[in-house]
Structure 1
């Protein structure tokens, strides 16, 4: 964050320079009034008045030009910060669910809050604040009592600014957290609309929404009440102070210690001296939001540093080795996979079976590098997965997750993994390998058929088969399929079996996680999981026969009726 902001150092220097010139030009109004009352009116000189008007108009024009330029510079600073950080922000969005326990992290809204504040009038108050002593010094130059009056007003307004920060900080932070919770509830309702309506859950979720909304609005109201109340108080005090300076100036004129021009000039100067403090109070809520967003982003970027460039390794062609693998979900301490070890050679296909919650899907995520092992390693040709960059490793891995995740775009883009340089031949080859080519060309737009958000334009079976083609695109060495036949009919299952045999025939490795035995038709090895541990591993027929004998032994013998009553 600091590096991105430091790249705008020259822009900030320009803003500071413009602020200095603007604050000097702000004296135009006061000096104009001083000259009119003390020079033009006593002399009744129209040419002097015209000259002053022309000079003041030119200075006001320069001031307007400088303020426009300063505002545009700040907008461009905010946009530059957003643009420079956007790749890391997107990386955060992708990596957070895989590296840490879900939190209130909201990197998109945080960077928008920072950019919006930088593009607002808030920073101008910060750049104008150092000029407050300059205006107070001029007030003292007019007369000590005028300076003292302005200084007392400045101290009161600064105290109001500090009080605004102290009293609104927790409310603004709580409102941000409740706002994030409301967004999650809204997203839950959108994603699960069918279930909510069909099973009558929407009213109950609505109750949660109302509770969260009430808390959110209450915190927002408290924050707005504090900042708005102190802002209104500050504006009234500033007007009272200007009136007080007028009264003090009138008293000094009566005593013969000041001129009539000083009365008006000092009033204008006092208002200008306190304007940055008043503007700071008005923008304090935005400043606090931006400050909290900045700290959250800084912490997230620190916790998830960018991956260093890694040496390009040769494509794996020989083996997959799993060494005493231990896996836990991101942010959790309880492991879901423990002490799993096996080796697969090129051409092997492994079926992983076991009851629900036995750690099969967790192991699959570790095998493709989505979850990092707590202990042990997953190796391709002897190199652990963390020796590859994500982009390089992805070329050698095909993954079909249990919950099919297609991305909005065309079928061709999804199969090609959104590779802009993908050839039509490679896309069609992957579709044919998955046995889905005929289905795709039968659609109205063929390979250009839009997927829709989360694949809504395709049936569940079609989504799964397109996702299988995506997993096979580019002939990856390791293909991991998690419940690949959960939504398939008999034709789809036959295509799945051919796809697995095709990977084996070209020297790849396939791992199939399945509940239905039909998915194991093309595998030659089986791994049995239970309670996160490896129970058996070996040739399919041997392992399945042992599992069958174990299940038969676990079934109790039927009770026999006693004879003779």
Structure 2
């Protein structure tokens, strides 16, 4: 939050406040346009009350030319204020685009429910409302009293009539605000949940189709969809009723104003020109209110989008760009690390602590569900719901600027996620492709010769999510991406899950090269055959550290425990943890 005077402005409010000059310009053009909207009224008065009485062609031509000039100026003012608002909307997108992009990704990592598409949808909705009719009506609304004053000048009865209709329109707008905001927000939330559920299932369309699960899942989606439709129907019905009443008031105002003017003409209290002019003026006075009622739905949507975006930016503030640290060396310390997950009663990691010097290869073992992959994410600083500390060179890893720290880290997740583009672009992390570094990373992962056999070599496109590659090829490309550049900390989660013997040999060679460069490596695996490259072993059991220390010391302790377990008098120790027997 930023403080200005006595007011506290959020980041989003501050961004909008930065466009106050543009809004002032729009206000000035609105003033000119609204003042000149009196020109048709004055023209009618002159035509009916002067030209038709004097039958002067010269007066008619002069009045027509003057009015035409006023119309040109009015049209120019209308065009300019619209153009200024459109340019302001584009600039707003440019100011907030990168900020929203980064914040939405951070929100996704913390599982707060936000997404890039939703956040940018909110930004677009705000931009469209700022540049739409609702904002223009807001600038026109202050000039309604001017039109009312002219009506009072023509005849007090006409002014009071316009005032009554203005109050009715204002009351209708207030009623709409009180009764349509909550239903519209609930309907929007239900529709988002239904769409998110469907999108999550489409990502696994092959599995659903192959095992005939589509029919079974359709009722679950249909229930969410029907709920969204029902809530949207109720909200739309209420909005349509308000809109219908608004139209009734507007049409009644037009006819009754004309009838009231005619009555005053019959009584000799108003001229025929004044009758026509009063009808036009009353329409102009109530038009901004009518526009606000008509754009109420977009206002509700924009307000909800503003609140969501404001919350997103507040929960994920921009990191200080002046904060710069020296390049890390790779020493990792974990203190009392507890990792939880939504909907899970017990934490996944329960007080994990370890200290790994820089340049050390640590192999993490443990049965399925022991928390190995969660530990990998915590080491990368991308797991929400964490207490305790993960320190890189003595500093909390979540305190680093991710853009600054990213090139020094390498991460191979258990589920390989590649992106549409070429092999080289994926290895280079979609930054500037350094050919030497890309080839070095590919060689390190044992991928270079395989890539050269592709028709376009490193420029070969891999398709969406890398679907043109096999599982083993995706794993190797992911490994090359993890070791690209000169990382000081590399975390590999089941890197040999899809590798054959040749691929596993290449993995061992990669780890040895990383160790030779002084890189700290965490290698998570189920296979004890790769223990030969380890300096340290960390064994997890049920989210807790079962064994931790130098490889040989831990292996000797486990062998001793296994030998003791084979003796009949001794009960089986818990130290085995469901692991495969440790080879001699």
Does the aligned pair in 1 maintain the 2:105–2:115 contact within 8 Å?
no
Closer, same or farther: CA 111–551 of 1 in aligned 2, 3 Å: farther
Q: How many residues align?
A: 556
Aligned equivalent of 1:563: none
In the alignment, the residues of structure 1 paired with residue 429 and residue 466 of structure 2 have an alpha-carbon distance, to the nearest angstrom, of 14
1:52 aligned to which of 46, 60, 63 = 63
Closer, same or farther: CA 60–318 of 1 in aligned 2, 3 Å: closer
Closer, same or farther: CA 139–428 of 1 in aligned 2, 3 Å: same
Shift of 1:444: 1.4
Closer, same or farther: CA 128–144 of 1 in aligned 2, 3 Å: same
Does the aligned pair in 1 maintain the 2:493–2:525 contact within 8 Å?
yes
Shift of 1:204: 2.5
RMSD of aligned alpha carbons: 2.3
In the alignment, the residues of structure 2 paired with residue 305 and residue 330 of structure 1 have an alpha-carbon distance, to the nearest angstrom, of 23
Aligned equivalent of 2:123: 111
1:451 aligned to which of 462, 467, 474 = 462
Shift of 1:525: 1.9
Does the aligned pair in 2 maintain the 1:410–1:450 contact within 8 Å?
yes
Alignment of 1:86-97 (within 5 A): 86-97=97-108
Aligned equivalent of 1:285: 297
Shift of 1:54: 1.9
Aligned equivalent of 2:160: 148
Does the aligned pair in 2 maintain the 1:104–1:177 contact within 8 Å?
no
Aligned equivalent of 1:312: 324
Aligned equivalent of 1:19: 30
1:172 aligned to which of 184, 190, 193 = 184
Q: Which runs of 5+ in 1 are unaligned?
A: 558-565
Does the aligned pair in 1 maintain the 2:108–2:114 contact within 8 Å?
no
Does the aligned pair in 2 maintain the 1:101–1:332 contact within 8 Å?
no
Aligned equivalent of 1:402: 414
SS in 1 for 2:388: strand
1:467 aligned to which of 454, 478, 484 = 478
Alignment of 1:348-359 (within 5 A): 348-359=360-371
Does the aligned pair in 2 maintain the 1:406–1:414 contact within 8 Å?
yes
> Is 1:229 matched with 2:250?
no
Closer, same or farther: CA 407–554 of 1 in aligned 2, 3 Å: farther
> Is 1:256 matched with 2:256?
no
Shift of 1:167: 2.2
In the alignment, the residues of structure 2 paired with residue 120 and residue 318 of structure 1 have an alpha-carbon distance, to the nearest angstrom, of 52
SS in 1 for 2:521: strand
SS in 2 for 1:210: helix
In the alignment, the residues of structure 2 paired with residue 275 and residue 102 of structure 1 have an alpha-carbon distance, to the nearest angstrom, of 40
In the alignment, the residues of structure 2 paired with residue 460 and residue 104 of structure 1 have an alpha-carbon distance, to the nearest angstrom, of 27
Does the aligned pair in 1 maintain the 2:330–2:489 contact within 8 Å?
no
> Is 1:543 matched with 2:566?
no
Query: TM-score, normalized by length of structure 1?
Result: 0.93
> What per-residue deviation string (whole Å, max 9, x for no partner) do you get for residues 407-458 of structure 1?
22211111112222x4211111111111111111111111111232211221
More deviation, 406-415/132-141: 406-415
In the alignment, the residues of structure 2 paired with residue 236 and residue 373 of structure 1 have an alpha-carbon distance, to the nearest angstrom, of 55
Shift of 1:239: 2.2
1:487 aligned to which of 490, 498, 503 = 498
Query: TM-score, normalized by length of structure 2?
Result: 0.90
Q: Which runs of 5+ in 2 are unaligned?
A: 1-11, 569-584
Shift of 1:225: 2.6
> Is 1:84 matched with 2:95?
yes
Shift of 1:264: 0.7
More deviation, 127-136/204-213: 204-213
In the alignment, the residues of structure 1 paired with residue 563 and residue 232 of structure 2 have an alpha-carbon distance, to the nearest angstrom, of 63
In the alignment, the residues of structure 2 paired with residue 294 and residue 373 of structure 1 have an alpha-carbon distance, to the nearest angstrom, of 26
